[in-house]
A and B are shown apart, each in its own frame.
Chain A
Amino acid sequence: MSEESHAAKKRRMNGRSSQLESQPSFLDDLEMLQETNQATKVDDPSLLWARPTLPKLNPSTDALIFQQIEADEYMSSATQTPVVRFFGITETGNSVICHVTGFLPYFYVPAPVGFKLDNITAFKDALERGIEKGFNTIVKIEWKLKESIYGYHGGEQSPFLKVTLKDPKNIAAAKRAIERGFSFEGFPDFTAQTYESNLAYLLRFMIDCKVTGANWIELPSGTYKSREDRNSNAQINVEISYEKIISHQPEGDWSKIAPLRIMSFDIECAGRKGIFPEAKIDPVIQIATMVTVQGESKPFIRNVMVLNTCSHIVGTHTMSFDKEEKLLEAWSDFVRAVDPDVVIGYNTSNFDFPYLLDRARHLGVLKFPFLGRLNDVRTEAKDTKFSSKAYGNRENKTINMEGRLQLDMLQVMQRDYKLRSYTLNSVCAQFLGEQKEDVHHSIITELQNGNEETRRRLAIYCLKDAYLPQRLMDKLMCLINYIEMARVTGVPFNYLLARGQQIKVVSQLYRKAFEKDFVIPAVNSQGTEDQYEGATVIEPRKGYYDVPIATLDFASLYPSIMMAHNLCYTTLLTGGIIQKYNLVKDVDYVVTPNNDAFVTANRRKGVLPIILEDLLSARKRAKADLKKETDPFKRAVLDGRQLALKISANSVYGFTGATVGKLPCLQISSSVTSYGRVMIEQTKQAVESKYTIENGYEHTAEVIYGDTDSVMVKFGVKDLKKAMELGREAAEHVTKQFIRPINLEFEKVYYPYLLINKKRYAGLYWTNPDKYDKMDTKGIETVRRDNCRLVQNVIDTCLRKILIDKDVIGAQDYTKQIIADLLQNKIDMAQLVITKALSKTDYANKQAHVELAERMKIRDAGSAPALGDRVAYVIIKGGKGTAAYDKSEDPLYVLEKNIPIDTMYYLDNQLSNPLLRIFEPILGERAKSLLSGDHTRTIQVSTPSIGGLMKFAVRTATCLGCKTPLKNGESAVCVNCKGRAPELYQKQQTIVNNLEVRFSRLWTQCQRCQGSLHQEVLCTSKDCPIFYMRKKVQKEIQDSSATLDRFLDW
């Protein structure tokens, strides 16, 4: 296990999408918002924009307390020293900018042997010369006694030189100079490793002043002074020396969150057919914005700015502009007036903001690109590459908006959740349980060029897209969880999305080291390919278990190993030190299964174990508080907190193992995993040797599977309650064999349990014997995106039938029915659609979705998928030997042209393996019979309306009764079936009727979703199952009505 798997432990997703439930339309939502906001109903909605008026503030008598949300640094032109600038919000919602002066950057160098206080001046001069471009930059050099964090040195401190500089930019130059080496009086070739020289100035400041991300800061009365600042439009502008500020730790009352203003927005632009909008050409036609105050449930500002006229929309401030320049200018004025603290949206970083900025530049709207809190800093989009083991490589644009937090919900989703698709539509279907109308960008232009009613239509669509990110954020608690993460780990909020995992551990490590007088070496990390052995997996005994399987888990396994065995940088021993201090094995130090030595806690307690203990005890406190707390908002904060603490504790181990890291120490990480491996084996031994028939138990227990931090035990008892008792007892028994705080917990029982393979299983999850909690699956095809939905649904239903209903026969019957339906073309097309993003045009190999996009471009460039779109396709039948990539086809085209779907492909390439995987442990060899047999013998072959021969072929009608070709004069049935004609007519009539009912239902559903019952449905959402159903039924009605017509002359 490495760093990424911790992060990859994504949070469980709650709530499956429930699309078919009818939902109130978005217009109703807007109306409701208006009603609930009666108080804020004013004639001119723009009066609501400004922040609350500022209560009078007297620096000499009033303390100023605010929550800082962002910080940056700048060089004061007067003193030529760095100043930290906090952006914050007071409890009354007033904006604050606080300049903190006087804090200077520094780093450490170990004093060479023989170095005396007298040598400092010579050293200073020599170093000054060594720093390129540095002029009088060294402020002072002090003699300090410190200890390096790396390795145990008998607990003795050694002399270090603390070099304090004026300009943070010169630290790197000083570091290089020292590493390169120079000479000074008495020391001809001095060179050394530097310490703490690779820490950013801002983080250094926050660590030394004990400021954590997004915490509360107090400026006592009389310590600060107001200051005029023409460069910012903050309501309060103050200056203070760094020694005077009081930083409140985010606990107790200080865990509150200021009334932050959250702005969510979306833009629409009028693209041209077939081309992704380009800022140089295509105009921005609408911008919808919602502003909400953190902690309130409804947005208090809802507006939309529209190019050209637009009919009134209930509960919304609609503004019309005749010129695009005016629209952009008005929006930027609006942003500055509302002064949001948090800016959210969906894909705003990579699309909306860059587009607006480019467009404004193109149109020459000079006022536009000043969207931050500072009037003199232009907002720009910069390309950044972000690469992390946990999150992969991403290319992003970053938008600077000083003093405002940005939370692009798309990026949050991609980081924190593993989903089939990340379109706003499918994310909402997943988490909010509702579909969203998806208007293809080629239609947007048409709507814009229509009349004020069609523009209103578009505006509603745009408003919804602006509102959804806000609702998504509220539902998933993103803002609160991120704020808590910033507080727990101590990094600024904006680091969380922009940086990886390591910086969070770095921040905690430095904080603890600062407290304990340790200094941290600045390691020039080189990535090595060294791999160490990971976690162990006990070979699974595959099968279907119809008895309770108890699961024993080590709670926070890796952190508890580090604590129990005192594994840390500061406790790492080398052979030399052991000899030097005559350390005794197992008394003064232990040797890990990986053959590394660490001193025990009674010699010295490690820093990492202390950090972990702090984190875990803080988590315990948060969880205890959570139990007591009743206020839903405070509960959310506490829950976010305990989660952040857990994630942080788990990431410490990964940090030590990251070879491309700030401070890798493979001795620690490999010792941790080696302990883990030994412990899993030991647990297995302990359980299997104790619970035997010889020892008086009913059955002999068997460990059927184990992975990393858990073992699955079959105690053999049939009774759930009994199994839980045994599980609890066994966990206690085993825990005794290990050093605290290692703790084996009995967590759950799986009953029944289907063990398919390593990391692949499913089971019904019980924590109390009366009612199961849920169905739990791991590693089973449910989210893989190159599978069609059918696979996911079939597997899910089968597992439900097997595990919950314990109806294996039912599951088999269901599977057969689905396969029969598939072969008869009765499966809904949406179930068969596979989607893939068209991320680049030059793939090395031919791929189905790329080929299809090419073909669609030839057919109609306007509606063909553009770069970045997701291509939806189904696999159609092709001649023998046709490559799979040539068999992909646009689902809509398939529906229209009635092209036969390659049902065998779906059976053989999509369903077969996942189905066999779950049925083989149960049925053994017989599982294969699911895929052939009588249910596969009824098929339907549709006749396409395309293909070289179709122009020439003539259809001979076949008898509706027996399918033989009809002769002249027969229209519906053959001579032999004449008697059955009334029955067949009736049957056909019923089919048509049912289809008509179905169609009108689907149509209404779509109209409801678009929020208008008297307009045509425009939506072409490829993620929405209803879309395909609607299209298919439409087609089927035509066909079956035609068939019905054949009875006319009967």
Chain B
Amino acid sequence: MLEARLQTGALLKKLLEAIKELITDANFDCSDNGIALQAMDNSHVALVALLLRHDGFEPYRCDRSLALGVNLLSLSKVLRCAGNDDIITLKADDTADVLSLTFENTDNDRISEYELKLMDIDSEHLGIPDTQYDAVVSMSSAEFMRICKDLQVLSDSVQIDVTKEGVKFAAKGELGSGAVTLKQSANVDKEDDATLIELQQNVSLNFSLKYLVNFTKATPLSTRVTLSMSGEVPLLVEYKMEAGYVRYYLAPKIGEDN
């Protein structure tokens, strides 16, 4: 039996927006730890890992581990029926083939209940092991989104160079080239806009912009984003939330071949 009550329903809505472009169907693995999802995108280049820790819910109850197979498009359609301020409660029986969702609006005492048919998804459970990265850049998520979108005009891929001075995003294409450099700054006044770099070693890597732009759909979830990079290891783009995270892994582009 799973029962999870989420005070800010908007969080779930934003989460869905952040992943539904990459993944069509996935299992939500519910355990006493919280609700997690790990899945690879259709072209096997990116992986999404999401976690909502149990302490983000009030209350949270999960008697035994459950895998809830969900078509993300359908779920996001149902979630569209929830208001941003609604309290969302997720419920599922141990052997259930439906996920029930309750949306409560405290202002006008409106309670709506939905049931979503679950899917039986047979897939392997994949994860990327934690590693020590050569460079970790922490920056404004809005800034990251803007850079990705701007550079996409020029090219399909972006080169990210990290040195102790700063981080440089550069793209070169048919119509020209462009580069955005962010200097390492400790902006005390506006903590959210600061760019912080932890560096073991300089890195210079290439990534597909199409995917990065897709990742920035998670921007509403957090004001900050961290990019963790090492040579020939997937890039980790992480959006941290109060009680959980969304992580995207993206394989580096090697030469011309992707």
Assess whether B42 is in contact with A878, with CB atoms less than 8 Å apart: yes
Assess whether B120 is in contact with A943, with CB atoms less than 8 Å apart: no
Scan residues 44-102 of chain B and give those whose CB is less than 8 A from a CB of chain A: 44-47, 64-67, 69, 71
Contact with A along B16-58 (1 / 0, CB 8 A): 0000011001010101000000001111111100000000000
In-complex Cβ contact of A949 among B65, B69, B249 (8 A): B249
Assess whether B45 is in contact with A941, with CB atoms less than 8 Å apart: no
Assess whether B27 is in contact with A963, with CB atoms less than 8 Å apart: yes
User: Which partner residue on chain B sits nearest A963 by CB separation?
Assistant: B67
Assess whether B44 is in contact with A940, with CB atoms less than 8 Å apart: no
In this complex, the member of A939, A954, A962 whose beta carbon has the largest number of chain B beta carbons within 10 angstroms is: A939
Task: Provide the bound-state CA to CA distance between A965 and B252, in Å.
Answer: 27
In-complex Cβ contact of B125 among A880, A946, A965 (8 A): A965
User: Which partner residue on chain A sits nearest B71 by CB separation?
Assistant: A937
Is A926's CB within 8 Å of the partner chain B?
Answer: no
Assess whether A939 is in contact with B251, with CB atoms less than 8 Å apart: no
User: Which stretch from B126-134, B161-169, B190-198, B237-245 is at the chain A interface?
Assistant: B126-134
In this complex, the member of A942, A948, A950, A954 whose beta carbon has the largest number of chain B beta carbons within 10 angstroms is: A948
In angstroms, how far is the closest chain A Cβ from the Cβ of B81?
20
In-complex Cβ contact of A964 among B25, B31, B117, B128 (8 A): B31
Assess whether A948 is in contact with B45, with CB atoms less than 8 Å apart: yes
In this complex, the member of B25, B69, B128, B251 whose beta carbon has the largest number of chain A beta carbons within 10 angstroms is: B251
In angstroms, how far is the closest chain A Cβ from the Cβ of B9?
25
Is B118's CB within 8 Å of the partner chain A?
Answer: yes
Given contacts A880-B21, A939-B25, contact A952 B125 (CB under 8 A): no
Is B189's CB within 8 Å of the partner chain A?
Answer: no
Assess whether A957 is in contact with B251, with CB atoms less than 8 Å apart: no
In this complex, the member of A900, A953, A974 whose beta carbon has the largest number of chain B beta carbons within 10 angstroms is: A953
Is A882's CB within 8 Å of the partner chain B?
Answer: yes
User: Which partner residue on chain A sits nearest B43 by CB separation?
Assistant: A879
| Contact residues in A for B27 (Cβ distance below 8 Å) | 963
Contact with A along B190-225 (1 / 0, CB 8 A): 000000000000000000001100000000000000
Assess whether B43 is in contact with A941, with CB atoms less than 8 Å apart: no
Is A976's CB within 8 Å of the partner chain B?
Answer: yes
Task: Provide the bound-state CA to CA distance between A911 and B243, in Å.
Answer: 44
Is A695's CB within 8 Å of the partner chain B?
Answer: no
Is B106's CB within 8 Å of the partner chain A?
Answer: no
Task: Provide the bound-state CA to CA distance between A902 and B42, in Å.
Answer: 9
Given contacts A939-B119, A952-B128, A962-B67, contact A882 B43 (CB under 8 A): yes
In angstroms, how far is the closest chain B Cβ from the Cβ of A392?
39
Scan residues 939-977 of chain A and give those whose CB is less than 8 A from a CB of chain B: 939-944, 946-959, 962-965, 974, 976
In angstroms, how far is the closest chain A Cβ from the Cβ of B242?
24
Is B258's CB within 8 Å of the partner chain A?
Answer: yes
Given contacts A941-B25, A976-B64, contact A949 B234 (CB under 8 A): yes
Task: Provide the bound-state CA to CA distance between A948 and B257, in Å.
Answer: 10
Assess whether B121 is in contact with A940, with CB atoms less than 8 Å apart: yes
| Contact residues in A for B111 (Cβ distance below 8 Å) | none
Is A602's CB within 8 Å of the partner chain B?
Answer: no
| Contact residues in B for A900 (Cβ distance below 8 Å) | 42
Is A824's CB within 8 Å of the partner chain B?
Answer: yes
Is B124's CB within 8 Å of the partner chain A?
Answer: yes
In angstroms, how far is the closest chain A Cβ from the Cβ of B39?
8
Task: Provide the bound-state CA to CA distance between A949 and B29, in Å.
Answer: 21
Assess whether B65 is in contact with A957, with CB atoms less than 8 Å apart: no
Assess whether B117 is in contact with A934, with CB atoms less than 8 Å apart: yes
Is A938's CB within 8 Å of the partner chain B?
Answer: yes
In angstroms, how far is the closest chain B Cβ from the Cβ of A964?
4
| Contact residues in B for A956 (Cβ distance below 8 Å) | 125-127
Task: Provide the bound-state CA to CA distance between A937 and B69, in Å.
Answer: 9
Assess whether B43 is in contact with A877, with CB atoms less than 8 Å apart: yes
User: Which partner residue on chain B sits nearest A933 by CB separation?
Assistant: B117
Given contacts A940-B122, A943-B123, A948-B258, contact A962 B66 (CB under 8 A): yes
Is B233's CB within 8 Å of the partner chain A?
Answer: yes
Task: Provide the bound-state CA to CA distance between A950 and B48, in Å.
Answer: 13
In angstroms, how far is the closest chain B Cβ from the Cβ of A844?
22
In angstroms, how far is the closest chain B Cβ from the Cβ of A899?
8
In-complex Cβ contact of B40 among A880, A949, A954, A957 (8 A): A949
In-complex Cβ contact of A937 among B42, B120, B127, B129 (8 A): B120
User: Which partner residue on chain A sits nearest B95 by CB separation?
Assistant: A962
In angstroms, how far is the closest chain A Cβ from the Cβ of B45?
5
Given contacts A879-B42, A952-B128, A956-B126, contact A939 B121 (CB under 8 A): yes
Task: Provide the bound-state CA to CA distance between A937 and B116, in Å.
Answer: 11
In this complex, the member of A938, A947, A957, A974 whose beta carbon has the largest number of chain B beta carbons within 10 angstroms is: A947
| Contact residues in B for A942 (Cβ distance below 8 Å) | 123-124
In-complex Cβ contact of B251 among A943, A948, A962, A976 (8 A): A948
In-complex Cβ contact of B128 among A824, A938, A954 (8 A): A954
| Contact residues in B for A962 (Cβ distance below 8 Å) | 65-67
Assess whether B64 is in contact with A954, with CB atoms less than 8 Å apart: no
Task: Provide the bound-state CA to CA distance between A959 and B43, in Å.
Answer: 26
Scan residues 893-951 of chain A and give those whose CB is less than 8 A from a CB of chain B: 900, 902, 934, 937-944, 946-951
User: Which partner residue on chain B sits nearest A899 by CB separation?
Assistant: B44
User: Which partner residue on chain A sits nearest B36 by CB separation?
Assistant: A965
In angstroms, how far is the closest chain A Cβ from the Cβ of B114?
17
Assess whether B66 is in contact with A952, with CB atoms less than 8 Å apart: no
Task: Provide the bound-state CA to CA distance between A964 and B28, in Å.
Answer: 9
Given contacts A879-B41, A949-B44, A950-B44, contact A939 B67 (CB under 8 A): no
Task: Provide the bound-state CA to CA distance between A943 and B39, in Å.
Answer: 10
In angstroms, how far is the closest chain A Cβ from the Cβ of B117?
6
| Contact residues in A for B21 (Cβ distance below 8 Å) | 880
Task: Provide the bound-state CA to CA distance between A265 and B153, in Å.
Answer: 61
| Contact residues in A for B127 (Cβ distance below 8 Å) | 953-954, 956
Task: Provide the bound-state CA to CA distance between A857 and B46, in Å.
Answer: 27
In-complex Cβ contact of A880 among B25, B42, B117 (8 A): B42
In angstroms, how far is the closest chain A Cβ from the Cβ of B205?
12
User: Which partner residue on chain B sits nearest A902 by CB separation?
Assistant: B42
| Contact residues in B for A937 (Cβ distance below 8 Å) | 69, 71, 117-120
| Contact residues in A for B47 (Cβ distance below 8 Å) | 949, 953
User: Which partner residue on chain B sits nearest A825 by CB separation?
Assistant: B122
Assess whether A963 is in contact with B43, with CB atoms less than 8 Å apart: no
Task: Provide the bound-state CA to CA distance between A938 and B121, in Å.
Answer: 6
In angstroms, how far is the closest chain B Cβ from the Cβ of A907?
13
| Contact residues in B for A951 (Cβ distance below 8 Å) | 251
Sample (14) of A-B pairs whose CB atoms are under 8 Å apart: A939-B119, A939-B120, A943-B40, A943-B124, A944-B44, A949-B40, A949-B44, A949-B46, A949-B249, A953-B126, A962-B65, A962-B66, A963-B27, A965-B65
The 7 residue pairs across chains A and B that have the minimum distance between CB atoms = A948-B251, A947-B44, A879-B43, A941-B123, A964-B65, A938-B120, A940-B122
Taking A880-B22, A956-B127 as known contacts, 13 extra A-B pairs with beta carbons closer than 8 A to each other, sorted by chain A number, are A880-B21, A900-B42, A940-B122, A941-B25, A948-B44, A948-B234, A948-B252, A949-B47, A949-B234, A949-B249, A952-B233, A958-B124, A963-B122
Q: Which residues on B are within 8 Å of A, measured CB to CB?
A: 21-22, 25, 27, 29, 31, 40-47, 64-67, 69, 71, 117-129, 210-211, 233-234, 249-252, 258
